[in-house]
Structure 1
Amino acid sequence: MKKLKIGLLARIIIAIALGIGFGNVLPGGLVRVFVTFNGIFSEFLGFIIPLIILGLVTPAIADIGKEAGKMLVITTLVAYSATLFSGFLSYFTGVTFFPSMITPGAPIEQISEAHDISPFFTVAIPPVMNVMTSLILAFTLGLGIAHLESTALKNVCNDFKDIIVKTIQTVILPLLPIYIFGIFLNMTHSGQVYNILMVFIKIIGVIFLLHIFLLVFQYSMAALFVRRNPFKLLGRMMPAYFTALGTQSSAATIPVTLRQSIKNGVTEDIAGFVIPLCATIHLSGSTLKIVACALALMIMQGMPFDFPMFAGFIFMLGITMVAAPGVPGGAIMAALGILSSMLGFGESEQALMIALYIAMDSFGTACNVTGDGAIALIIDKFFGKKDLRPIQ
């Protein structure tokens, strides 16, 4: 018999349901067992996050820098601009509508402390460096490797990246459902789960509508360059959209995205270059989700924020998204560091961000890959019949 495989999204949903179901039944002693696990897992996350950034950003910057052709540079700038636009769209929509949809309450940590839910013991796992240090080091190493003739250091960085991706796949992602179960178990035991679930439902609805608007806007912009009907262009990309919904992977959807982009009139060589590249560096849908979820959680908990704070966060998030590994939930794992360092998110806020993000992972991935087709149309307009030699 074949072994039944349950996807990450299904496991997260089951974990949330079980946490809510058992929260009113289990005694405080058993709740403390999961609070203890969450404390240890949170320490491990704090330790691994700078290494995730270092291990994933360094090879990405090295690859982009080494192949710094004109088309590559412009594709990267267009993808980054699209990612920034989605982040600011999400922020301004959130500050306009979220305050009337979300009732501020006490921080989650204060709720837990008020009910004396504390771990049996704690294990300190200090990180080897802070998040900003790891980002600067990753950029320094990446740009340096790009200009080295030797490949020795690049091979080391690629091996380190493989270790980090393997750690995410075999340690962090399998344990995430238990971690999220503990969070919702604790919140239910504390009597706050209803308010948080209501926020979840409202935010998911807003983000879904924003995804639709973002795709229509991206193809409207592409239509200005190619002078064609944006809705017909977007309609031809629907097979890629629905494939991404099922696979939850930009990489797995590349063949479909490539085929549909060519059907939209993109030159085969251009599509073959832009689509795989954008599957790595263009994450508008993911950025939109992360900004909206972060803003919603800050409003819900009464955390102070302003535009300069989120502007810096969005600019840094757009860079960090380049490092998102090709695994479900990879983007939020890469973003945890700046959520902590720039927005002040603690253990509970990070766990809720993970749960919210993964609950919408399919839609974010679908938005990312469908938008890749719009970028391919723009790049094809400029480079379809031009010299593609690298910048000297």
Structure 2
Amino acid sequence: MKKIHIGLLPRIVIAIAAGIAFGNVLPMMLIRAFVTFNGIFSEFLNFSIPLIIVGLVTVAIANIGKGAGKMLLATVLIAYGATLFAGFLSYFTGTTFFPSLIQQDVPLEQVSEAQGILPYFNVAIPPLMNVMTALVLAFTLGLGLAHLKTDALKNVALDFQEIVVKTISTVILPLLPVYIFGIFLNMTRSGQVFGILSVFIKIIGIIFLLHIFLLVFQYCIAALFVRRNPFRLLGRMMPAYFTALGTQSSAATIPVTLEQTVKNGVSPGIAGFVIPLCATIHLSGSTLKIVACALALMIMQGIHYDFQLFAGFIFMLGITMVAAPGVPGGAIMASLGILQSILGFGESEQALMIALYIAMDSFGTACNVTGDGAIALVIDKIYTKRQARRNKQELVA
């Protein structure tokens, strides 16, 4: 009999639906078993993320050659510009609509922070290095390999890349649906999502619409470069979007984002460079959400704010979150310092920001990774034009 193959996207959708459906049905012992698995798998993801970055980015930069430095700069500038645009879009939309939707002077004690289901045990798998160290190491090795005349070290990097790719395809991708099922099972049983989201239900609707507008805008800009239908380009990225909804991690979604970006016509070398890099430095969805939640919370508490205050906050937020690990909740953890120093948030405000952010983390992460595909299209077009111009000059010479 012919084996029935179910794609990654249907498996993820089934996992999400099953997690919500069985969250209040399965016995607590079984739910804790899935939560325990999720804890171990999450630790393995955290361990793997720096290795994925080093394995993919190093070889990608080395293969690009001496132009890698310029491509790195172009990618960083485009990603940072996209993040700033999302932050200011969120601010101006919030100042327009939030005051009429939010009840002011609401005490924070009315918002209770639900606790998730605890696992049976925890297994710590510390990563060999943090994400920023992995990025700097990948840049250094890749740029160095691009200028070396020998291939000995590059062959080692290629072998390491093969190990990383095998780990992704044989371990991470097959277990992702189980991991996603456990996440939604836990959140449904604990009531964490619904309890927190009920506080800001109207604001969440606006944030979701902003995410959709932002993605359509990003792919319209990318479509101008590649001269293709933006909605078809965006449609091919939906597996990455739904994967991020479940994993809540840009880095954990890298394999899917990478595959769908290549299907959109981006060369594998450019995709292998841009996607892992943007998983850490491109945080449009997260920035949009943090700015909106912070603004809404300030309006709710009657705290004074103005454009200059939030402009400084958005510029710093785009830089600070580059240091955020590509794991669930990493962006809000990295932003706590400037929430306190710039916006004056105390412990209660920070706790509520964390609760709100984690509850909506899936949508921001999905917006981040889907937007990575648009940036890859632009970088690929720029590099293709430059390479064609260089080849033409060589032929003339």
Settle same-fold status: TM greater than 0.5: yes
| Whole-angstrom CA distance in 1 between matches of 2:235 and 2:99 | 35
| Whole-angstrom CA distance in 1 between matches of 2:217 and 2:243 | 21
Counterpart in 1 of 2:33? 4
Counterpart in 2 of 1:91? 91
Counterpart in 2 of 1:296? 296
**Contact 1:236–1:260 (CA<8 Å) still a contact in 2?**
yes
Render the CA deviation track for 1:44-65: whole Å, top value 9, x for unaligned.
Answer: xxxxxxxxxxxx9xxx9xx99x
Counterpart in 2 of 1:321? 321
| Whole-angstrom CA distance in 1 between matches of 2:295 and 2:321 | 18
Amino acid at match of 2:295: L
| Whole-angstrom CA distance in 2 between matches of 1:106 and 1:259 | 46
| Whole-angstrom CA distance in 2 between matches of 1:103 and 1:317 | 27
SS for the counterpart of 1:303 is coil
Counterpart in 2 of 1:378? 378
Amino acid at match of 2:35: I
Counterpart in 2 of 1:226? 226
Render the CA deviation track for 1:282-320: whole Å, top value 9, x for unaligned.
Answer: 010000000000000000000000000000000000001
Amino acid at match of 2:371: G
| Whole-angstrom CA distance in 2 between matches of 1:348 and 1:5 | 31
| Whole-angstrom CA distance in 1 between matches of 2:292 and 2:35 | 28
SS for the counterpart of 2:34 is coil
SS for the counterpart of 1:249 is coil
Amino acid at match of 2:357: Y
Render the CA deviation track for 1:42-87: whole Å, top value 9, x for unaligned.
Answer: xxxxxxxxxxxxxx9xxx9xx99x9970000000000000000000
**C-alpha deviation, 1:254, in angstroms:** 1.0
Amino acid at match of 2:380: D
**Contact 1:309–1:342 (CA<8 Å) still a contact in 2?**
yes
Paired-residue identity, %? 76
Counterpart in 2 of 1:215? 215
| Whole-angstrom CA distance in 2 between matches of 1:244 and 1:352 | 23
> Is 1:308 aligned to 2:308, yes or no?
yes
| Whole-angstrom CA distance in 2 between matches of 1:262 and 1:106 | 48
**Contact 2:197–2:204 (CA<8 Å) still a contact in 1?**
no
- Length-normalised TM-score, structure 2: 0.60
| Whole-angstrom CA distance in 1 between matches of 2:197 and 2:225 | 43
The RMSD of aligned alpha carbons is 3.7
**Contact 2:283–2:321 (CA<8 Å) still a contact in 1?**
yes
Counterpart in 2 of 1:343? 343
SS for the counterpart of 2:104 is coil
**C-alpha deviation, 1:99, in angstroms:** 0.4
Change (3 A) 1:243 1:198: closer
**Contact 2:86–2:287 (CA<8 Å) still a contact in 1?**
yes
- Length-normalised TM-score, structure 1: 0.61
SS for the counterpart of 2:240 is helix
Counterpart in 1 of 2:180? none
Unaligned stretches of 5+ residues in structure 1 = 10-55, 113-137, 150-176, 185-193
Unaligned stretches of 5+ residues in structure 2 = 1-28, 39-49, 63-67, 112-131, 145-185, 391-397
The equivalences for 1:116-265 within 5 A come to 199-265=199-265
> Is 1:267 aligned to 2:267, yes or no?
yes
| Whole-angstrom CA distance in 2 between matches of 1:105 and 1:5 | 40
| Whole-angstrom CA distance in 2 between matches of 1:309 and 1:384 | 41
SS for the counterpart of 2:81 is helix
Amino acid at match of 2:253: T
| Whole-angstrom CA distance in 2 between matches of 1:363 and 1:375 | 19
| Whole-angstrom CA distance in 1 between matches of 2:240 and 2:98 | 31
The equivalences for 1:11-160 within 5 A come to 69-105=69-105, 108=108
**C-alpha deviation, 1:202, in angstroms:** 1.5
**C-alpha deviation, 1:198, in angstroms:** 5.4
Amino acid at match of 1:5: F
Q: Report how many residues are paired.
A: 266
| Whole-angstrom CA distance in 2 between matches of 1:234 and 1:106 | 39
